[in-house]
Structure 1
Amino acid sequence: MGGGGGGQGDHQKQPLLGKLSEPGDSSSEKRLVKRTGTVWTAMAHIITAVIGSGVLSLAWSVAQLGWVGGPAVMLFFAGVTAVQSSLIADCYISHDPERGTVRNRSYMDAVRLYLGEKTRLFCGFFLNFSLFGTGVVYTLTSATSMRAIQKSNCYHREGHDAPCSAGGDGYYMLLFGLAQLVLSQIPDFHDMAWLSVFAAVMSFFYASVGLGLGVANVIANGVIKGRIGGIPLVSTTQKVWLVSQALGDIAFAYPFSLVLLEIEDTLRSPPPESETMKTASRASIVITTFFYLCCGCFGYAAFGDGTPGNILTGFGFYEPYWLIDLANLCIVLHLLGGYQVYSQPVFGFADRQFGGAEFEVRLLGTRRVNVFRLCFRTVYVAATTALAVWFPYFNQVIGLLGAFTFWPLGIHFPVEMYLVRNKVMPWTKQWLAIRAFSAVCLLISAFASVGSAVGVFGSETS
């Protein structure tokens, strides 16, 4: 699966960073780095970014929406993500009258070029906060999975009704943070294809375990549980809020727009990077949707109205305990790569803005060390780890923030950049279609945001 290592026969095809004008690059940053990525490495990055442990929570979402609504919503957001990724992929290369051909290496570079500096500053705050918050949430989630391993072993020894409790979340988070201190010294996306491939394999494994256990449970039950309209509730208002939360969970499980251009920047050409990126995006969305539908539907079929929030860490399954342990371990290993995928845009921005001198050290041979990179990334990882330890409910806050930022970062800015880049005239059929797409996504995002807010504040008061 690869192209990240650079094939011997492609040296004449590899564009160098210095050949095109690149926003934000200082002269010292225009390194002669060969872009060697292929559709396979791009798919690995995308799947690592998209398929998170949240795939195991989709059964709960299907339980709220029912047998018709659950699959329909997943397919709808798969289509939304396909359109969204296509719009952003086209923004990678632009043609500026003054600077010639410009390569937008990051989301913020593209926003600045097409929409201006003020807009870039506005979206930059939310973008970097969202990426930083994702790092905190991944740290928290890793501790949840490690704790689930401990509890699984306890249930196996003491029985499923035993009052098993597992502490030590802070200890698990520190272990995860220590691993990230090492991985964060990977220079950029060009050098981490191996990590994304590894993380993608881990995500396939634990998603397959969740799917397999769901199928086995359905066969053992001898009946498909669940209802057309989902879990019935006495209160209509409560049902509306839970449907809203489920809609938001599915909506926010798909997009990878925040890291799309960084991934595209690793691709070699020919063919054009945008074509390769679109192919990788479509293939990844198909694979992701297949796993989402299978895990969500079989999980609901297995548990019906009793579907847990997470079929592994929420102990929808208890046995075989060793398989549950292995699946949770794979979640942690996947999160190691996922953390890096969402941190590299921040690292890359800091490197381009501030650079830093390099010096040689003798450690297992002679290696070059960038002082600024070492210090900044160490502080960044320490900050995400510390916030996770001190504020363990941050995942609820970032979930609410993700609901509010889904439309502007995932839909609005990509749409506006596409309209500017392609000089789409107002009130044409294309303009109206794109505006209608944006408006529908805004309404859905607003509804999901309200549900997320109710869920956060409801959990805090309960």
Structure 2
Amino acid sequence: MRSLEQEMGAWKVAEGEVDDDGRSKRTGTMWTASAHIITAIVGSGVLSLAWGIAQMGWIAGVATLFIFSTITLYTSSLLADCYRAPISGNRNYTYMDTVKTFLGGSSYTACGLVQYALLSGLAIGYTITASISMVAISKSNCFHKEGHGAPCKFTNNPYMIAIGITEIFLSQIPNFHKLSWLSIVAAIMSFSYAGIGMGLSFAKVVSGKGEKTTLTGVEIGLDLTAVEKTWRIFQAMGDMALACAYSAILIEVQDTLRSSPPENKVMKKANVVATCAATTLYMMCGCFGYAAQGNHAPGNLLTGFGFYEPFWLIDLANIFIVVHLIGAYQVVAQPVFNLVESWAGARWSKSKFINEEYPLSIGKNNLAINLNKFRLIWRSAFVVVATLISMAFPFFNEILALLGAISYWPLTVYFPLEMHISRNKIKRGTTKWCCLQLLNLVCFLVGLAMAVSSIRGMSKAFHTFKPFTF
């Protein structure tokens, strides 16, 4: 997380208001940590799980989703134990710090490149996805007002600009410690729009209008070759694996927790709560969606019910998606913001431009906030660049799928397992070591298949992209 020595230079922290490392007292709980995790992982991608199960069928689809959730929960538990150094008990404030403590410099560099490329990419992807939902709202209202035959075509770019302006303001929230309220709101939104999708699906199934489903998923035939089905299965596996992964922010979230009870114990409970809640939501959304839409389930469950009726309910779901993604943007961007600010604070420790905090009072109630010139300029520049990339590369979600595929294995599996081996001094060749390496290998192969599938999807999208189209 961001080095708070800068803030402590500006604020005189009273006795008893600091933790054992001299930083401002952490106030996070299991519930705030769970909210951060849910906000980060339960994205609008939950609406694609019905499509994923359709590609693999009832047995393989449900089993794959459960397996990936179990793997994530296991490796996240191992990672939570690495928050403090084994001998000194010193805190590791970021995932990179943790890797450096247990695995050394080269792994530290590799971890940083992968982690921050993914987090920056997610911010761009969330901008695109939120704008798609805003366009869906405009289309729905247009069809309702003008009739189903109306053209109702809209471009995403004005909505991306509006999202960017909103994120510039929200990005001034100093750190994860001040972000809990936004994560809680975003987490509620994620359950709300997924609940609407499940409700519509359940209603369709109960009414007897559910489409055909099969144990093996979409059937090979005139419209689908064996090769195309294989690619789709790889893509579906990737969607499910990435839907469960959140290791890239785990240590940063853990650093918000109170010192007592021990952070690793609280974080493990938060892992269980968030993973179980997310997995239950995924299972219900994916299974109900597949039962309703069948083997022709769309990539976005909500579009399977059309833009027409009940148009107001579809609009409400898309509003929830937008609010959730605006909050999720901040959750994934905070580690990036704080990495640069920590480096700049250490590099120019005496610079007032970088380190000085300016308290401001807003409104009749004198709401107190602290502004920092460097934070204002750097974070605003990040949001502007992310917005411009979103507008220039509207197919960036395909690029994001590749970033996710590349980062899944090292961040979610490899580093947590290797740090666990180092921390517990597990000897090479023992039964436990072999089992851990087998899990490592299987997840590496899955990640490789996901990456190849993502490259194929990116290649297709590149042929149709139109940058900066208004």
Under a length normalisation based on structure 1, what TM-score does the superposition of the two structures give?
0.90
Q: How many residues align?
A: 436
**Superposition deviation, residue 111 in structure 1:** 1.3
**What residue in structure 2 maps to residue 5 of structure 1?**
none
What is the CA deviation profile of residues 88-107 of structure 1, one whole-angstrom value per residue up to 9, with x for unaligned ones?
A: 111101134xxx22201111
Determine helix, strand or coil for the equivalent of 1:392: coil
**What residue in structure 2 maps to residue 78 of structure 1?**
69
| 2:205/2:291 contact within 8 Å kept | yes
Partner of residue 324 from structure 2, selected from 334, 351, 357: 334
What is the CA deviation profile of residues 386-425 of structure 1, one whole-angstrom value per residue up to 9, with x for unaligned ones?
A: 1101111111112112112211222111211111122111
**Superposition deviation, residue 314 in structure 1:** 5.9
**Superposition deviation, residue 276 in structure 1:** 0.6
Q: Taking structure 1 as reference, are residues 367 and 246 closer, same or farther at Cα in structure 2, changes over 3 Å only?
A: closer
1:182 aligns with 2:166: no
Q: Taking structure 1 as reference, are residues 221 and 170 closer, same or farther at Cα in structure 2, changes over 3 Å only?
A: same
**What residue in structure 1 maps to residue 420 of structure 2?**
418
| 2:293/2:304 contact within 8 Å kept | no
| 1:68/1:228 contact within 8 Å kept | yes
**What residue in structure 2 maps to residue 233 of structure 1?**
220
Moved over 4 A (4+): 11-15, 313-317
**Superposition deviation, residue 168 in structure 1:** 3.2
* 1:439-458 superposed matches below 5 A: 439-458=441-460
Counterpart of 1:66, as a letter, is: G
Partner of residue 368 from structure 1, selected from 367, 370, 375: 370
Q: Taking structure 1 as reference, are residues 106 and 336 closer, same or farther at Cα in structure 2, changes over 3 Å only?
A: same
**What residue in structure 2 maps to residue 35 of structure 1?**
26
Partner of residue 289 from structure 2, selected from 286, 299, 320: 299
- Using the alignment, how far apart are the partners of 1:15 and 1:418 within structure 2? 30
Q: More displaced, 187-196 or 411-420?
A: 411-420
| 1:308/1:316 contact within 8 Å kept | no
- Using the alignment, how far apart are the partners of 1:300 and 1:142 within structure 2? 24
| 1:310/1:316 contact within 8 Å kept | no
Determine helix, strand or coil for the equivalent of 2:258: coil
1:434 aligns with 2:422: no
- Using the alignment, how far apart are the partners of 2:240 and 2:442 within structure 1? 16
Partner of residue 285 from structure 1, selected from 259, 262, 275: 275
Q: Taking structure 1 as reference, are residues 394 and 87 closer, same or farther at Cα in structure 2, changes over 3 Å only?
A: same
What is the CA deviation profile of residues 418-452 of structure 1, one whole-angstrom value per residue up to 9, with x for unaligned ones?
A: 11122111112221221111111112222222222
Determine helix, strand or coil for the equivalent of 2:68: helix
- Using the alignment, how far apart are the partners of 1:441 and 1:113 within structure 2? 24
| 1:50/1:255 contact within 8 Å kept | yes
**What residue in structure 1 maps to residue 41 of structure 2?**
50
**What residue in structure 2 maps to residue 91 of structure 1?**
82
- Using the alignment, how far apart are the partners of 1:436 and 1:261 within structure 2? 25
Determine helix, strand or coil for the equivalent of 1:244: helix
**Superposition deviation, residue 159 in structure 1:** 4.3
Partner of residue 357 from structure 1, selected from 355, 358, 366: 355
Q: Which sections of structure 1, spanning at least 5 residues, go unmatched?
A: 1-10, 21-29
Determine helix, strand or coil for the equivalent of 2:371: strand
1:62 aligns with 2:53: yes
* 1:261-280 superposed matches below 5 A: 261-280=251-270
**What residue in structure 2 maps to residue 123 of structure 1?**
111
**Superposition deviation, residue 223 in structure 1:** 4.7
1:209 aligns with 2:209: no
What is the CA deviation profile of residues 63-93 of structure 1, one whole-angstrom value per residue up to 9, with x for unaligned ones?
A: 1011111111111111011112111111101
Q: Which sections of structure 2, spanning at least 5 residues, go unmatched?
A: 1-13, 346-353, 465-470
| 1:213/1:317 contact within 8 Å kept | no
| 2:117/2:403 contact within 8 Å kept | no
Counterpart of 2:28, as a letter, is: G
Q: Taking structure 1 as reference, are residues 314 and 349 closer, same or farther at Cα in structure 2, changes over 3 Å only?
A: farther
- Using the alignment, how far apart are the partners of 1:392 and 1:458 within structure 2? 13
Determine helix, strand or coil for the equivalent of 1:103: coil
- Using the alignment, how far apart are the partners of 2:461 and 2:220 within structure 1? 18
**Superposition deviation, residue 129 in structure 1:** 1.2
| 2:398/2:461 contact within 8 Å kept | no
- Using the alignment, how far apart are the partners of 2:116 and 2:58 within structure 1? 37
**Superposition deviation, residue 317 in structure 1:** 6.3
Q: Taking structure 1 as reference, are residues 362 and 85 closer, same or farther at Cα in structure 2, changes over 3 Å only?
A: closer
Q: Taking structure 1 as reference, are residues 131 and 312 closer, same or farther at Cα in structure 2, changes over 3 Å only?
A: same
**What residue in structure 1 maps to residue 90 of structure 2?**
102
What is the CA deviation profile of residues 248-272 of structure 1, one whole-angstrom value per residue up to 9, with x for unaligned ones?
A: 1111111100000011011113211
Determine helix, strand or coil for the equivalent of 1:426: coil
- Using the alignment, how far apart are the partners of 1:389 and 1:461 within structure 2? 16
Under a length normalisation based on structure 2, what TM-score does the superposition of the two structures give?
0.88
- Using the alignment, how far apart are the partners of 1:175 and 1:223 within structure 2? 38
**Superposition deviation, residue 46 in structure 1:** 0.7
**Superposition deviation, residue 156 in structure 1:** 2.3
**Superposition deviation, residue 220 in structure 1:** 2.2
What is the CA deviation profile of residues 214-264 of structure 1, one whole-angstrom value per residue up to 9, with x for unaligned ones?
A: 001112235563111111123111111111111111111111000000110
Determine helix, strand or coil for the equivalent of 2:244: coil
Counterpart of 1:61, as a letter, is: G
Q: More displaced, 40-49 or 425-434?
A: 425-434
